[in-house]
Structure 1
Amino acid sequence: MRILDRYILYRFLFNFTSSFVILMFIFIFQTIWLFIDDLAGKGLDFFIILKFLFYLMPDLTEKVLPLTVLLSSILTFGTFAENYEFAAMKASGISLQRSMKSLIVFVTLLGGLTFYFANDVIPISQQKIYNLRKGIAQLKPAAVITEGVFNDFEGGMNIKVKRKHGDEDRLLEDVLIHVKDARGINKTVIQSETGELVSEEGNDILQLILRDGHYYDASTPTSPKKKKKYPFAKADFDVYTFNIDLSEVNNQDLEKDQNITTHKMKNVGRLRHDIDSLRDDNLKVIQAFSKNISNRMGAFVKLRPNTVAVKPMVHDTLTYADSLPSRKGFLGLFKEWEQVQLINSAKNSTSNILSSVKGKRQEIRNRKKIYNLHISAMHKKYALAFSCIILFFVGAPLGAIIRKGGIGLPMVIAIILFLVYYFLGVFAENYSKEGNIHPIMGAWLSTLVMMPLGIFLTRRATADKGMVKLPSFKELIGDLFKRKKNKEED
């Protein structure tokens, strides 16, 4: 490697490393604010919080790395142009492409490393984050009680509290509890003004003490006659205590594999397999539902081409089809009370079929959304690696054109371009999730939009041209009056 290539690579790596550390630090603080309610004041060990943030770092790298490549390339070549180093290179016969040679090799290797990171490291980190949050929720019951909303617990119990306070948020106000039976029916409702979570060290029993409340329980009678009376039990209490067994919760392993996988927790090989499985399952569900609706509607099965058609019955030159009553006279074959029954039966059948179709439509939409998410997740891994290369070819010639180094104007331009790239990706992903555009297009749209910009800027910088100079408003008005004056003279 020549001295110039080493020098350019050194300057780029210095800007790349410093930008990556600063941006990662900023994104970590932004993540802390997102999860501050889940981590702060829960009595969690500081080491667990650090582990949680460590597992989040690979997912943040997916956002930090493209911005780092864009910013470091603008800073490097902007500094070269500002200090006339780039002009000295050109005077020595070294073109822009030649000066970018070592960096192109580095960015290409970085793209391959990024794909490995997105394919192998990020799915593992997502699995670790899920297991850690689930372990924290089971180890610290008060940590999963969010104020103002219903919180689901194992055993069919939902708890809603207005406010939490006190040591480790153990004191509760305005508590509402719903307890469901084995069939998922909301059977018991308990409401109290205050509550408290009490536990002792080494004890496997967690007590939920409720004070000044009401208890309602819908009884389940065995006799069909008693069910029509809707029996229930109602009582007021001063103190009511729940005992929750924590024998299994206290032995909870925060690193235990819960065997829960989403599209973010899968690599390319797993995604390919699951995409095929999801497509086949969706087709089976749709075909089975279509067949069910056809049978309920009484639709006739289409004859195959090789099926022998039944010859019509001929009697006095009239076919059997001619002997059937017309559609208008079909109801005339029945009595008046039978006609009413037929019409009501047809209405009920149609209403039931429409209800089934509406209910199944949401299920099919959810299945389609999961299928689209898997396709988008697989192609985003490739698009992320390719975006590092594209954004380098955007930032390097742009820095040579603007001829500014430092963290002022280059930082502003890099952030604006990254926001365009990021929001295009977010909007495209949301549209592809709902099926408005193809999931592959949703994963690649932001990268494909940046590609023409990179080609355009590279050609402009190679030809030693600046940015496209648009005419100012004053020039447009002057040209307009000049044309008008020429027409008057003519």
Structure 2
Amino acid sequence: MYTLDRYILSRFLYNFLSSFVILMLIFIFQAIWFFIDEWAGKGIDLLIVGKFLLYYSPNLIPMVLPLTVLLASIMTFGAFAENYEFAAMKASGISLFRAMRSLIIFITILSIGTFFFANSVIPEAELKSYNLRRNIAQAKPALAITEGIFNNIPETDINIKVDNKHGENDQLLEKVVIHKLSNGGVNNQVIQSKEGELVGKKGSNYLQLILKDGNFYEDIQGKTIADRQKVPFAKAYFDTYTMNVDLSNLNNQDLEKENINNTYKMLNSNELTQAIDSLFDDNRKVINSFGSSVFNRTGFSRLYVDEDAGRPVKDTIDPTGKSVPELMEFYAPWRRSQIAEMAKNNIASTRRSIEGKRPDIQRRIKLLNVHYLALHQKYALPIACFILFFVGAPLGAIIRKGGLGLPMVLAIGLFLTYYFIGIFTKNYAEDGSMDPVIASWISTVIMLPLGIWLTRRATADKAVFDSGSIIEKFKGLFKIFRKKEATVSK
């Protein structure tokens, strides 16, 4: 029996490792394709690119590992069934669960290790990759210029916007707008040009920005109030204007420096729990404070309060016991319209205040929800690997196909179902439409009954869909209808 366990485990490990390597390479090439536009022709060393990919690779594990487990289990048991090895096991009295024993132990150990990997290695890798990418952008100013928006060049007093970048190293710029800050941080200089070029030498601490065919505008600060009220400014046209940007601080940039270490993806489970508690308390304080502010503006807080009962005295709210329309009859017509207008203004002011506060509250709720998602996804990932094994192994035994053909198609189809359900629920959870705890687990929970059903079908040596039994059921249903019709006719 131990020989059989070793044989089954070795076949599974071979499929598992080969599938893992292939899938990891595919996802790494996808990452290279995603970042290639930022790095191509920017003079970045291959060592830095390799280091970034090394740091980025652990972030791919939550996608690669479940698919690998699913694919390897389908391939292994599909090959056993296709080569009649599984039939030989059954003839020898070895059940499906007995054949899966060594693999169940391996998947259990793998799931436990996956949790520790997701809790320790992935946050550290996210920290390294995020800060390395950020520091590359600071060390290479051309990377920091995004087309179509204003970009602050790090460690300088320049905000620059370009409509288009082109050239071998993206050094040629079109329609350049520059806002240059003065020593006091005031934006009083604007430069516009039709063309521009970034010129720099390797090892130099200065970058030349050569602008062509443009205008220079500057607000002049008057010495007296009368002069400042005139809003004087200077305007000049230039054919060529060269700006020297001091990059000494940027060139000394340490690419391994970890400046940011507090995003939710960089935290382990204990740190996420502490962050969730802190965010929950902060959100409650902000919402309670805002609610108290809105309540105080209504004027009810100034009503006489019964100190013993701890609530407003009834008569101070409505001393007559009459309805609002009846109370309005006590006032002159001009006073009624004035009171109504004041009430409308008060409601409009409160509504504007709530609408203005809404984005901040939504941001706070989203931040809290993504922390909940990050925490529970660390626990959901190892459980998903365990469940997907019980989906793939019986499915492989049922379809009786090994290799990379049909098993790959089935594995990708099931994984995409699992993955897209997780993506949709995650998006719903971030904006508060769904509980983040449920969203973290729902894709895994959906796969659980599928795994149980497939395991029962494979143990009973039945196909996924028994067309014969379905036809027989329909025939039986038609026989019942015919008997009823014959009875009615009689």
Same fold by TM-score, threshold 0.5 exceeded? yes
Which residue in the other structure is 2:252 paired with? 251
SS at match of 1:125: helix
Give the 3 Å change call, closer, same or farther, for CA 185–81 of structure 1 in structure 2: farther
Matched, 1:382 2:379: yes
Give the 3 Å change call, closer, same or farther, for CA 170–56 of structure 1 in structure 2: same
The answer to whether the 8 Å contact 2:78/2:397 transfers is: yes
Which residue in the other structure is 1:135 paired with? 135
User: 1:212-255 CA distances to partner (integer Å, 9 max, x unpaired)?
Assistant: 11233455668777776555443322233333222211111000
Q: CA deviation at 1:75?
A: 0.4
Aligned AA for 1:354?
R
User: 1:57-113 CA distances to partner (integer Å, 9 max, x unpaired)?
Assistant: 101111100000000000000000011100111111110000000000000000011
Which residue in the other structure is 2:419 paired with? 422
Which residue in the other structure is 2:123 paired with? 123
Which residue in the other structure is 2:106 paired with? 106
Matched, 1:373 2:370: yes
Q: CA deviation at 1:374?
A: 0.2
SS at match of 1:327: helix
CA distance in 2, matches of 1:321, 1:183: 63
SS at match of 2:254: coil
The answer to whether the 8 Å contact 2:135/2:255 transfers is: yes
SS at match of 2:164: strand
Give the 3 Å change call, closer, same or farther, for CA 114–330 of structure 1 in structure 2: farther
SS at match of 2:258: coil
Which residue in the other structure is 2:289 paired with? 288
Matched, 1:194 2:195: yes
Q: CA deviation at 1:211?
A: 1.5
The answer to whether the 8 Å contact 2:328/2:336 transfers is: no
Which residue in the other structure is 1:266 paired with? 267
Give the 3 Å change call, closer, same or farther, for CA 237–279 of structure 1 in structure 2: same
Sequence identity, in percent? 54
Give the 3 Å change call, closer, same or farther, for CA 32–14 of structure 1 in structure 2: same
CA distance in 2, matches of 1:160, 1:390: 51
CA distance in 2, matches of 1:8, 1:53: 34
The answer to whether the 8 Å contact 2:387/2:444 transfers is: yes
Which residue in the other structure is 2:278 paired with? 277
Q: CA deviation at 1:290?
A: 1.1
Which residue in the other structure is 1:91 paired with? 91
Of 43-52 and 343-352, more deviation after overlay is shown by 343-352
Give the 3 Å change call, closer, same or farther, for CA 459–320 of structure 1 in structure 2: closer
CA distance in 2, matches of 1:472, 1:460: 14
Matched, 1:77 2:93: no
Which residue in the other structure is 1:316 paired with? none
CA distance in 1, matches of 2:321, 2:184: 56
Which residue in the other structure is 2:10 paired with? 10
User: 1:100-140 CA distances to partner (integer Å, 9 max, x unpaired)?
Assistant: 00000000000011111111011111111111111111111
Give the 3 Å change call, closer, same or farther, for CA 398–371 of structure 1 in structure 2: same
Using structure 2 for the length normalisation, give the TM-score. Answer: 0.88
Which residue in the other structure is 2:442 paired with? 445
CA distance in 1, matches of 2:311, 2:142: 73
Q: Which runs of 5+ in 2 are unaligned?
A: none
After superposition, where does 1:46-65 map in structure 2 within 5 Å?
A: 46-65=46-65
CA distance in 2, matches of 1:70, 1:470: 26
After superposition, where does 1:339-418 map in structure 2 within 5 Å?
A: 347-418=344-415
Q: CA deviation at 1:172?
A: 1.4
The answer to whether the 8 Å contact 2:75/2:403 transfers is: yes
After superposition, where does 1:215-254 map in structure 2 within 5 Å?
A: 215-218=216-219, 231-254=232-255
User: 1:313-344 CA distances to partner (integer Å, 9 max, x unpaired)?
Assistant: 9xxxxx975899963146529xx5x8887666
Using structure 1 for the length normalisation, give the TM-score. Answer: 0.88
Which residue in the other structure is 1:306 paired with? 309
The answer to whether the 8 Å contact 2:218/2:234 transfers is: yes
Q: CA deviation at 1:358?
A: 0.7
SS at match of 2:328: coil
RMSD: 3.4
Aligned AA for 1:306?
A
Which residue in the other structure is 1:214 paired with? 215
SS at match of 1:191: strand
Give the 3 Å change call, closer, same or farther, for CA 237–299 of structure 1 in structure 2: farther
Q: CA deviation at 1:56?
A: 1.1
Q: CA deviation at 1:352?
A: 3.1
CA distance in 2, matches of 1:488, 1:436: 52
Aligned AA for 2:240?
V
Which residue in the other structure is 2:456 paired with? 459
Alignment coverage as a number of residue pairs: 482
Give the 3 Å change call, closer, same or farther, for CA 240–228 of structure 1 in structure 2: same
Aligned AA for 1:278?
L
Aligned AA for 2:110?
L
Aligned AA for 2:13?
L
CA distance in 2, matches of 1:242, 1:64: 48
After superposition, where does 1:24-43 map in structure 2 within 5 Å?
A: 24-43=24-43
Of 231-240 and 351-360, more deviation after overlay is shown by 231-240
CA distance in 1, matches of 2:30, 2:449: 32
Give the 3 Å change call, closer, same or farther, for CA 420–186 of structure 1 in structure 2: farther
User: 1:174-211 CA distances to partner (integer Å, 9 max, x unpaired)?
Assistant: 21223467999865432201112223344322222211
Aligned AA for 1:191?
Q
CA distance in 1, matches of 2:275, 2:383: 24
Of 344-353 and 412-421, more deviation after overlay is shown by 344-353
Q: CA deviation at 1:378?
A: 0.3
Aligned AA for 2:76?
T
Of 88-97 and 202-211, more deviation after overlay is shown by 202-211
Of 149-158 and 303-312, more deviation after overlay is shown by 303-312
